[in-house]
A and B are shown apart, each in its own frame.
Chain A
Amino acid sequence: MSRNSLWEYANPRKFLQTTDIVLPWVAWFAAVTLVLGLVWGFFFTPDDYRQGSTVKIVYLHVPAALMAINAWIMMLVASLIWIIRRHHVSALAARAAAPVGMVMTVIALLTGALWGQPMWGTWWAWDPRLTSFLILFLFYLGYMALWEAIENDDTAADLTSILCLVGSVFALLSRYAVNFWSQGLHQGASLSVQSGERMAMTFKLPLYVSMAAFALLFIALVLVRTRTEIRARRMRALLARERMGGA
């Protein structure tokens, strides 16, 4: 009898079985909302009177930026679950999420730079938001590199979890430090459409759809990649047993 039904899915086999059913739905909804959000935003919204047609970039930049951060938070939670309850699926899910989060971060960075270019006149400016995302990108790289570098699965899971914890604290610290650091800049308006500025419904609705799309896409990708990690881990275990038994 399971005490908490959610923890059942921490069992690798149960996870694979459940996602067999769930994944196609998530993927389908992700695809539909993505097409809906982006087509709506790109073709059927007006220009912003200040930013012109560059406002259309918001349907990519904001969802990607949100997922870049949410992905790291999910990795943090998964790392904590691994440290506390030692569920392998959790550790593998964190590993699976990292590349997706990193891609989201890159999209946020590139779209952010392209969005700012008409405003700033340069292809890159050390805007506090963009700078924070650049640092987040480095955190993703380091996390992924550490997983790659350690051979033993459990050791890698432990070390990367601790790194994720410590990294999260420093990521927050960096956010404040970067805001402090960029105060000296005499930049024009920083990169934002929605903060401090009322966004009209015509923009908000397709934005919400895009945000949902990116979230669903993230979930679908993490499910796919976690399933792969589970299988890869089982493969390594079988190979190790073969090597020992065959001798």
Chain B
Amino acid sequence: MPDLGKYAEAVLTSYAISLVLLAAIVLLSLRRSRRVKKELQEIEEKVKSNG
């Protein structure tokens, strides 16, 4: 860890918050993508078996 001096709080919080936010949008996007893909597959199966 480099010596951040008196600004350690500001710098570390910046990195922490940014990484958390980036991780959040990535995870949420992936999770929704998976969910919708699964739901679409289920509906397409149902339509295929009905029609």
Contacts and interface: CB of A to CB of B under 8 A. Distances in A.
Interface of A: 38, 42-43, 47, 52-54, 56-57, 60-61, 64, 99-100, 103, 106-107, 110-111, 114-115, 117-118, 217, 221, 224-225, 227-228, 231-232, 234-235, 238-239, 241-242
A228 B6 CA distance: 45
Contact of B25 (A61, A99, A114, A239): A99
Given A103-B22, A110-B17, A53 B7 contact: yes
Contacts of B11: 53-54, 56-57, 114
A19 B36 CA distance: 17
A219 to B, nearest CB: 12
Interface in B9-51: 10-11, 13-15, 17-18, 21-22, 24-26, 29-30, 32-33, 36-37, 39-40, 43-44, 46-47, 50
Contact of B44 (A61, A107, A114, A238): A238
Contact of B29 (A224, A235, A239): A224
Given A118-B10, A228-B29, A228-B32, A43 B22 contact: no
B17 A231 contact: no
Contacts of B24: 103
B7 A111 contact: no
Task: Name the prevailing secondary structure of the A interface residues.
Answer: helix
Given A103-B22, A107-B18, 10 more contacts: A38-B15, A43-B2, A52-B6, A52-B7, A60-B14, A60-B18, A117-B10, A118-B7, A227-B33, A231-B36
Interface residues of B, number: 32
8 contacts: A56-B4, A114-B10, A118-B7, A217-B26, A224-B30, A224-B33, A234-B40, A242-B47
A106 B26 CA distance: 15
B36 A235 contact: yes
A61 B6 CA distance: 20
B15 to A, nearest CB: 7
B10 A57 contact: yes
A53 B22 contact: no
A4 B36 CA distance: 31
B32 A60 contact: no
Give the top 4 A-B pairs by smallest Cβ distance, nearest first: A53-B4, A228-B33, A60-B18, A103-B25
A107 B17 contact: yes
Nearest to A227: B33
A118 B5 CA distance: 12
A100 B5 CA distance: 33
Contacts of A57: 10-11, 14
B25 A235 contact: no
Interface centre among B13, B22, B39, B46 (most CB of A within 10 A): B22
